[in-house]
Amino acid sequence: MSILASFHWGWLLGAAVLGLIIGWVSIARRSDGLSLRTMRWSLAAISALVAIAVARLLPGRLGYWLDLGLLLGLCYVIGCVAGAWLRERVVARAVAKASASGS
């Protein structure tokens, strides 16, 4: 993994920045989200892919692509979470300022 991170650091940074932007501009709506069944299937699929990568069951180029895809996906999700969190903090601060100046 360290070889992937050192060789593809630009792509990993790009995935994180893209995730940050998407997390910032996405409108978080309060909905039910994914069903429990879909969440379980998704978690099982991701867990299986991580287990395959850790056990090194895919040799050569396929294993390299799997590792790189998992790492890029992780950077993207971390960026999305960070962007959404930053957006929430900025909006909360703006709402607090508006309510303090309005009263």
What is the CA angle 71-73-75, rounded to 5? 70
pLDDT one-digit tens code per residue, 22-48: 999 987 666 777 789 999 999 999 999
pLDDT one-digit tens code per residue, 66-89: 999 999 999 999 999 999 999 989
Count of CB atoms within 10 A of residue 16's CB? 20
d(CA 38, CA 66): 22
Q: Residue range 55-60: average pLDDT? A: 93
Q: Cβ contacts of residue 24 below 8 Å, gap of 6+? A: 83, 84, 86, 87
The three-state secondary structure class of 44 is helix
How many residues would you count in the chain? 103
DSSP 53: H
